[in-house]
Structures are given as C-alpha cells and as structure tokens.
Structure 1
Amino acid sequence: MSLDSTTTTPDPASQGAARQETAAPAAEVGSTGRPGPLGTVLAGAAGRNLGLVIALVLLCVVGVATAGDRFASIDNALTILRLASVIGVVSIGMTFVISGGGIDLSVGAIAALASVWATTLATQSMAADTHWIVMVFTAIVVGAACGLVNGALIAYARIAPFIVTLAMLAAARGLAEIIAQRRTQIVSDRGFIDFFNARVLGLPVLVIIFALVAVAGWLLLNRTTFGRRTLAVGGNPEAARLAGIKVQRQTMYLYILLGVACGIAAVMIMARTTTGTSTHGSLWELDAIAAVVIGGTLLSGGRGTIVGTVFGVLIFNTLTNVFTLNNLDTSTQNVAKGLIIVAAVLLQQRVAARHRAP
C-alpha cells in the first residue's frame, strides 16, 4: 500500500510544468482566444501610434483634396506646427498629470496670469536694465507657483483635483485681470520678440521649443524613476504607497511640472502675439485634455504616452487648419472635436475591457 501511494502521488511542480507544456501549443495555434504576436503589437503603444499616424495622413489627404496647394504648401505646414507648439507644450505637462491620476482645468488661466505678470511695466523695466530672460524667468516662476498651490491642495488637503483647479481657473484669470486692469500689455523688448520669432534651419524657434519639451517629457516619463513613479501613482495609489512611493509628494511634483509647462507656453504666446493679456489661454484646458486623450493616455491614470500626445496635438491643429482653409465656422470645428474626444474615450474603454477579459 505504501509503495502504491508513493508512486501515484502527483508532484505539484510536475503538474505545473505539464500544464505549461500543454498550454503552449494551444497558444501557438490561437485556440485560447488570446491575440497572436501581431495582435499584441497592434494593441500596444505601437498600434495606437500607428492609428494616430493613419488618422493624421487621412486628414492631410482631405486637406489636399479640399484646399489644394493652400494646404500642401510648406508655409502652411509651418503654420500648423507653430500653432501646435504652444498648446503642445501644455499638453506634454497635462500628460504627466493625467497619467498620475489627476486633471487640471486651470492651465489656460495660469498661462494668462504668467503672461500678464511677465509683461508688467515693472518686469519689462527690469528686463530692459538687465536681459529679457527676466521675463521668461518670471513667467515660469508664476506658472510653477500656481502649480504648487494646486498640487499642495490636492495632495495634502485632499481636495478633489476638479474642484481645486476649477477654483484656480477663476482665481488666476481674475488676478490677471486685476494686474492688467483689463488691458492688453504690449511686449516692448525687441530682443525677446526677435529671438522667439526667429528660425533655425528653417524651423521657427517656437516649434523647436515644442520639440525639445516633447523629447524631455518622453525621457522623463519613460526613462526615469520619476516617470515610473508617476505611472504607479496613477495606476494604483495605495499599491504605490505600500511600495514606498511618497504619493502626496509625487502628486504635488506633477502639478508643479504642469505649471512650469504653462509658464513656458505663456512665454511662447507672448512672443507670438507680442502681448500679455488676461484673455490668453482661453479653452486651453479642453484642447490639452483632448490631445492627451486622443494620444492614448488613460483618463483614469496609470498609462501615458508623450508620442501619442504629440500626434494628438498635430491631429487637432491639422483639423482646425483644414476647416479654416475651407471657411467652416468654429462651431463646426468644436462639434468635430467633441465627436473625436467621445470616440477616443469609447475606444479606450473597449481596449481596457479587452485587456481585463480572461
């Protein structure tokens, strides 16, 4: 009896190996219902980016078909890039916040406040006595300070991001109106204007700034501990806390980072319009969130893509350019943008549900 029981007792490790061996052929022929190698690639970042590239190409085809040489010219392409650069910088910062499980509705108001503060008579006088870099420094500091306030209230006071940033939207816009006395402040420093409106190797400086910010954002999100912590906090804050990540501090850093991006965008819009005004940045928050969502960053947090955000910005600005060249009103543009956003969110939900399926 003892001999029989010994020889018939199954070994758990052997059973596990046997299960793996029998499952492997099934996976190879696809009988498990799981996607094959190609399906896995298409469901990942490469597939999402490929879809964005196809969408952008289709928009360009529509632009050429409806507007001809007016759309296909190099000058028009540079115009699209120049317009995309400002909101693109804000969208890069927004990618980090949304990846970390947050949201920010105040980016436009923060940029407006930064532009007004950087173009006050006192700031411009100081810049005239020293260097126009003072204006750049002022705008970035104002943006970072607003981001710090947002981040501190959200992380440590535990107030919902929607409420905090909505309050900042109203407060920053109101403060900008008070400082500027509801007037448009003109940038008088020619060195500032000439530098940011110059071209390097045929590319506008504003476009180069956007490219540099995008590269820096990609490296920060994908190649640093800061980026991994951001995705961990956005995916599961409690698990991130148990893993030793200081969730509150990380959240605050994300909003400061977005504030810095708003400050940089404020400098860019000041250079492009040669003004600082409380009306700058109107509806930037919607455009930035839309670009981030279209790019494939999850609204629920835990997954972010800088490359996707760049394509999202280019898609929206190309769409706007096509509509403008065809004399379509802004109402039609807004309807189209709304439909695109809803379609992107529905696609995200479908992909997420597919990944959760056994």
Structure 2
Amino acid sequence: MTQQPVSPAQQDGADAGTVSATSPESAARHGGPRSLGLRLDVRNLSLLGVLAVLVAVGGFTKPDQFLDTSNLQLVLTQASVIGVVTVGMTFVIISGGIDLSVGAIVALASVWATTVATQEYGFVGILFTAVVVGLGCGLVNGLLVAYGGIVPFIATLAMLASARGLALQITDGRTQIVSVQSVLDLGIPDSYILGIPPLVLVFAAVTVIGWLVLNRTTFGRRTVAVGGNAEAARLAGIDVRRQRLFLYLLSGLCCGIAAFLLIILSGSGQNTNGNLYELDAIAAAIIGGTLLSGGRGTIVGSVLGVLVFTTITNIFVLNNLQSDVQQIAKGAIIVAAVLVQRRTLRNGEV
C-alpha cells in the first residue's frame, strides 16, 4: 500500500491521531483515550492512597515531629528539587529515551553558578548561569542522541561522567559558599508566602506548566507519539530527531532550575550535589505510571511518586532508621511498580 504524503497543514491532526493509537491493534488494546485516562486516574488515586497511608504511619510513629508544620514544609521543600528534575525526566522517558546525567548536571550547574566570579553578578548571575549550564548539557545530550545516533543510555552516561568530573575540577573538592544575600533569603521562613516556601511554589509552577505542555500542546502529543512508535510518528510528518533534541533541552532546563533551588536550600555549591538524582527521578516516574518503553506517562503521577519517596525518607530519618534500610525499601517499591507494569502490559490493559 502506497504511503500518502502528509502536508504540514495536516500535521497537528496526524499528531493527535498518533497519540491516541499508533496502529489499529494499539487502539483496540488501549480501549480508546477515555479508557486509558480512567486507568491513569485510578493509578493516581492509588498513589494518593499510598501517600495517605505514609502520612498516617508518620503521624503514628512520630506525631509531634512528623505532623509539625516545619517538618511538612521541609518535606515539600526537599521534594521540590528532585521534583523539578523528575518533570523533565518524565518527558524524556515518555519519548522512549532515558537521561542518566540529570544528577551530574545539577551538580555542575550548582558549582558553576556559585563560583566567586559568578557571584559577583548577584542573584541574576547565579540563576542565569545555572539555567544556561543545564541547557548546555541538555543540548549536548540531545545532539548526541538525536543527530549523533548514540543510544540514550550511553550518551547520557558519558555526560554523567564528564559533568561530575568538570564539577570536581571547578570546586577542587571544596564546598563553595553562597554570599549573595538575596539568594539566601529565599530559604528562610520570612520569605514564605502564606506559609509556603518559595521553592515549593517554583515546583508547583513547573508541575503545572509541564502538565499543560504534555496534555494541551502539540509538543506533548508529539512526545507521546515518538515514544509510542517513532517510525509511525516520522511517517505522520513529525521531525523525530528535532523532537528528541528539544526533550533533552527540556530535561537540561529542569536540571538548571533544580540546581538553583538546591543552591537556595543548601546555601552552597558542591560537586557531590544531585547524587543519585537520576535514580530517584526514574523511580518516581515509574511508580507514577510512566512506561520505560515510552509512549505513556503522566506529570501528576510522577509528582506523586516524588512525594511518596520523599515522605518515606522523612519517616525513616525521624525514626532513626539507617540509610541502607531506606534504599532497600525504595528498591522494593521500584520492583513492585515494574512488576505491576509488566502484568498490565501482558493483560493488554495499557
């Protein structure tokens, strides 16, 4: 059967159709967008239930500490940094890719933005540098993956090693203290708006924007289409390589924003910043319902995944449980989430 050419005017319509189903068999398996949306809502409700159970456990084991307003603010603040990274990671995974370099990019952006030379330019200089470094690393990743033909795992692994090495070289193993007061002020209670830390407000804004982009724009539909079936997306008129480049730029942008939030939170820049962020972001996206094979995922689910992991860590710390036990618990949750995904895929439910 001859493939009919698709005009630019038909492109948006083709994107929407590709998102819904990249083939008749896929459409039958999905049961249509409404059926898929219902299942995603059930998953998100399940995560909310898990989060409610964790809050109950924390309130039962350490009621005076866990339910204290300052502790709840701390949980949300800590979730904000990795949460912003997870939003970018979700887009990349939905497209069928992966980004192992996010933690290293956060570290590099944080130390580059806190050098003595950068701090001379004040608040704007630190923010601008963090964002530009993140975008620069994302650009390199995108070019290697989209136009260099390098497997995302290898390309981003190379960036992980390079960014960590450069961050260590810049700091020479030392902690760089932030002296710009306007940056430090954002981390103190006096800067809270209606009791909400500024970092949480930034996280909320990134989440809302991410949700709108994924669910209400052509860019979001193209992202899902590329992850679902890259060849079908190409035949529908989507520039797959350019889309992948933009996705890694988006991930780098989120890392730059997260690096700035981390600078506010810690008041410093260190080459060890962002350690294991890549694993935490991937894990949060997975338990939130994002398929590692691409083609499906939600921003809301990923954010709930971040909150679940952050709450677990907080409960463990308050109860003086060792970090190795925390890692075991997180590992068990990740395995359980993947097994659930495999089961639903086998039963044709996703």
Q: Into which bin does the TM-score normalised by the smaller protein fall?
A: 0.7 to 0.9
Q: 2:150 aligns with which of 136, 147, 159?
A: 159
Aligned to 2:23: none
Counterpart residue type for residue 107 of structure 1: V
> TM-score normalized by structure 2?
0.88
Matches within 5 A, 1:1-358: 40=35, 44-127=39-122, 132-197=123-188, 198-355=191-348
CA separation in 2, counterparts of 1:190 and 1:232? 45
Q: Deviations over 1:314-342 (max 9, x none)?
A: 00011111111111100000000000001
Distance in 2 (CA, whole Å) between partners of 1:196 and 1:212 is 17
Quick one: distance in 2 between partners of 1:256 and 1:35? 30
Rg larger in structure: 1
> Aligned residue for 1:26?
none
SS in structure 1 at match of 2:179: coil
Note the alpha carbon deviations across 1:89-131, whole angstroms, 9 max, x for none: 000010000001000111010011001111111111133xxxx
Per the TM alignment, residue 356 of structure 1 is displaced from its structure 2 partner at its CA by 6.2
Cα pair 2:134 2:255 within 8 Å, conserved: yes
RMSD: 1.9
Structure 1: runs of 5 or more not aligned: 1-33
Comparing 234-243 with 186-195, greater Cα deviation is found at 186-195
Q: Tell me the matched-pair count.
A: 319
Output the CA distance in 2 between the equivalents of 1:41 and 1:242.
24
CA separation of 1:310/1:356 partners in 2, compared to 1, >3 Å: closer, same or farther? closer
- 1:279 and 1:207 mapped to 2: Cα distance? 23
Shift of 1:79: 1.1
Gaps of 5+ in 2: 1-28
Q: AA paired with 1:61?
A: A
Amino acid at match of 2:78: L
What does the per-residue CA deviation read over 1:166-213, in whole Å, with 9 as the maximum and x for residues that have no partner? 110110010011111221111110011113542111100001110000
Superposed CA deviations along residues 246-294 of structure 1, whole A, max 9, x for unmatched, are: 0000001000000000000000111111101111000000011010101
Q: Secondary structure at the match of 1:314?
A: helix
In the superposition, the TM-score normalised over structure 1's length comes to: 0.86
| 226-235 vs 196-205, greater mean Cα deviation | 196-205
Distance in 1 between residues matched to 2:266 and 2:166, nearest whole Å = 21
CA contact (8 A) 2:30 2:348 kept: no
